[in-house]
RNA sequence: CGGGGUGUAGCGCAGCCCGGUAGCGCACCUGAAUGGGGUUCAGGUGGUCGCAGGUUCAAAUCCUGUCACCCCGACCA
């Protein structure tokens, strides 16, 4: 590829709306241009990187016996209505209508379509397991696209689906995918880890996400450096928190209030005025008690039914856990009007005591045994003190709904959890029969009995993986591509002066390297050295061969590895192609 | 969806309060010099001032509407 004849529009200035390194560099390196909010054009250099990642994905999936197919972008509404996701998925599902007034969606994921295909063809356990994938453009109408290709509306995804006769077979595929994903991300040069994840809107029981550790990541990971436990913040569990019961020395009371129970358990509920104090922190300060001894009571509405949710005043509810537990089509916080009609009081003063009817109350397990607690009185400007949850709210169900935070005890070993940020580049799910059951995808087993297919699904964000690689491999000068996914392996930089020799030698090296099968960029532009070097630093091709008058006088050219950041190594012109060929084989892992 | 902001040349911006023939830097084109880290000089190309309506002798500028984009937030009682 000759620079003068290709399309690599680099930018000297940084576009003002690019906030993260990958976005900024993809724009500046001429890989990417925005067409519309969250919608991007991938220019030749960007497309090359995408193809590199796709190739690695294809190679590794071939190793585990997955077969590639291609599914449509446009999905008929009826298919999504079968699984109720037409209603559940929400506004992220981009809907449109055709000329006959039929409704469609742009596919954000393809469980419905693949299940439809498979249910039409698979009749027997003899046809199982099936392991299919595609690499295709997905569309999700993100509420707020940002960070370039890290959170865009249109993106390229590899999505795979497996179909099984039983759980054991699903487990084998799931494990194979976990291994394949680890190889894929390692080959892409990423520092990543697999963490336990919530299965969210996709569904299923078991899921792991592959996280690329990066400060710009939008996902929070909680991990234990003592035992290796790691989970997304949506999924993370914690060991028992230190008790905060009254008279127990605050956080010192290890036995969840048992020691102090005699004393505090006898305390009566007492109504106190808390004018205008709606938040747990304000109430605690006003009453002079630790925030941890106040209890928040949140009112949610799940498919039209109110559900009260309680956590400690200083903690937050994990809605992913709540949604997962309730298994409702829609879960949302109640409006102020609904709060008034369900509790009798205004927003900000809700509590679990004296609620009309017998509403469902879910409480964080850390509240088991809570005594001497402060809760809302379901009346304006009033709270109750001295509450004993098990005495005063006997119907409370204890369910883990806690948003775990850094410093909480590890659920496995009790050590302190740490928080870090990551970019989710892949996720694997054991779906079970969620889709196959809803869509009637069945097969006949050995005994002739009709059974529902067991499914798994496995995604990799291709474009996001590219951005994540840049997040991890760049410096102030530009991108430093890992060789396996670099758009090209070598950039030949002749420093053209009046003397035609550097360009002539550059051409020879360029031809020679291409003959050996390498992808080479020849910077044949009539630009000054500074411009060429700056652009080379920016686009980050792993190996750089500089041909200048200075070296040629002694028959030498200059080689720099690590996208030009490495030390210069002078090579005789004659052996340069062979030497570089050997170095490239080594770097690319080709024997 | 709520709040804030911005739309003026390919990119980054000024001009807008205080209406009067649209400007700067980079990029681009031409020429010359230069030639190992974004060089220099000279000359040039390029803009219905997001769109629509209104006020006015006159609108990038004032008013109304609209669209797009960006940032923050989206209910933790």
What is the tens place of the pLDDT at every residue in A551-586?
999 999 999 999 999 999 999 999 999 999 999 999
User: Which residue is closest to B35 in terms of CA–C1' distance?
Assistant: A497
For residue A249, name the pLDDT band (cuts at 50, 70, 90).
Answer: very low
pLDDT at A264 over 50: no
One DSSP character per residue, A26-71 reads: HHHTTSEEEEETTEEEE-HHHHHHHHHHHHHHHHHHHHTT-EE---
| Mean pLDDT of all residues belonging to chain A | 90
Cα gap A31→A25, rounded to integer Å = 8
Give the per-residue pLDDT at A248: 44
**Å separating the CA of residue A60 from the C1' of nucleotide B22:** 58
Mean pLDDT of A196-208: 82
User: Which residue is closest to B73 in terms of CA–C1' distance?
Assistant: A144
Question: What percent of chain A shows pLDDT beyond 90?
Answer: 68
Neighbours of A264 (CB within 10 A): 18
ipTM value greater than 0.85: yes
Mean pLDDT of A369-382: 90
For residue A307, give the 3-state DSSP assignment: strand
Mean pLDDT of A491-513: 93
Neighbours of A586 (CB within 10 A): 11
B strand bases under 7 Å from protein CB: 1, 11-13, 25-27, 34-39, 68-77
pLDDT at A181 over 80: yes
Residues 6+ apart with CB under 8 A from A159: A109, A110, A133, A134, A136, A138, A457, A458, A459, A460
**Å separating the CA of residue A547 from the C1' of nucleotide B29:** 29
**Å separating the CA of residue A10 from the C1' of nucleotide B42:** 27
The model's pTM is 0.91
Give the per-residue pLDDT at A574: 95
Cα gap A50→A48, rounded to integer Å = 5
Give the per-residue pLDDT at A49: 97
**Top mean-pLDDT range of A24-38, A79-93, A120-134:** A120-134
């Amino acid at each position: 590829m000759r620079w003068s004849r290709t399309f690599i529009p680099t930018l000297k200035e940084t576009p003002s709306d690019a906030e993260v390194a990958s976005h900024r560099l993809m724009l500046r390196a001429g890989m990417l241009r925005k067409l519309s909010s969250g919608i991007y054009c991938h220019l030749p250099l960007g497309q090359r990187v995408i193809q590199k990642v796709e190739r690695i994905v294809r190679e590794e999936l071939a190793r585990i016996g997955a077969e590639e197919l291609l599914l449509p972008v446009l999905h008929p509404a009826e298919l999504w209505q079968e699984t109720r996701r037409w209603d559940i998925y929400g506004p992220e599902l981009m809907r449109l209508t055709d000329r006959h007034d039929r409704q469609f969606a742009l596919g954000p994921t393809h469980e419905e379509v693949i299940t439809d295909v498979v249910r039409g063809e698979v009749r027997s356990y003899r046809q199982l397991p099936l392991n299919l994938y595609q690499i295709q453009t997905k569309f999700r109408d993100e509420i707020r696209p940002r960070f370039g290709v890290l959170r865009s509306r249109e993106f390229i995804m590899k999505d795979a689906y497996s179909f099984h006769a039983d759980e054991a077979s699903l487990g084998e595929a799931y494990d194979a995918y976990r291994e394949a994903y680890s190889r894929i991300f390692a080959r892409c040069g990423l520092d990543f880890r697999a963490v336990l994840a919530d299965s969210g809107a996709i569904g299923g029981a078991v899921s792991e996400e592959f996280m690329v550790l990066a400060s710009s990541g939008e996902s929070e990971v909680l991990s234990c450096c003592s035992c290796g436990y790691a989970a997304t913040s949506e999924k993370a569990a914690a060991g028992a928190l230190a008790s905060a019961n009254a008279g127990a020395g605050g956080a010192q009371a290890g036995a969840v209030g048992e020691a102090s129970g005699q004393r505090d358990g006898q305390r009566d509920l007492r109504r106190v005025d808390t004018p205008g104090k709606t938040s747990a922190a304000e109430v605690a300060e006003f009453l002079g008690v630790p925030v941890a001894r106040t209890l928040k009571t949140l009112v949610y509405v799940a498919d039209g039914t109110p559900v009260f949710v309680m956590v400690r005043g200083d903690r937050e509810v994990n809605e992913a856990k709540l949604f997962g537990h309730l298994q409702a089509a829609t879960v949302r916080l109640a409006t102020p009007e609904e709060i008034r009609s369900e509790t009798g009081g205004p927003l900000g003063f809700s509590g679990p005591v004296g609620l009309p009817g017998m509403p469902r109350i879910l409480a964080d397990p850390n509240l088991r045994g809570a005594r001497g607690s402060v809760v809302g009185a379901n009346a304006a400007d009033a709270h109750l003190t001295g509450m004993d949850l098990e005495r005063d709210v006997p119907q409370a169900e204890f369910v883990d709904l806690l948003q775990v935070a850094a410093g909480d005890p590890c659920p496995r070993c009790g050590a302190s959890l740490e928080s870090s940020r990551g970019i989710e580049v892949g996720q694997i799910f054991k779906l079970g029969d969620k889709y196959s059951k809803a869509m009637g995808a069945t097969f006949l087993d050995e005994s002739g009995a009709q059974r529902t297919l067991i499914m798994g699904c496995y995604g990799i964000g291709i474009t996001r993986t590219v951005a994540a690689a840049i997040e991890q491999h760049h410096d102030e000068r530009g991108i430093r591509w890992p060789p396996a996914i670099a758009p090209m392996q070598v950039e030949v930089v002749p420093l053209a002066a009046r003397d035609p020799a550097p360009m002539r030698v550059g051409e020879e090296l360029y031809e020679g390297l291409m003959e050996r099968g390498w992808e080479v960029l020849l910077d044949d532009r009539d630009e000054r050295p500074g411009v060429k070097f700056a652009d080379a630093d920016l686009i980050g091709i792993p190996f750089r061969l500089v041909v200048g008058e200075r070296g040629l006088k002694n028959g030498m050219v200059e080689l720099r590895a690590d996208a030009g950041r490495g030390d210069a190594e002078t090579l005789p012109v004659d052996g340069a192609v062979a030497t570089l060929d050997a170095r490239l084989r080594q770097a690319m892992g080709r024997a």
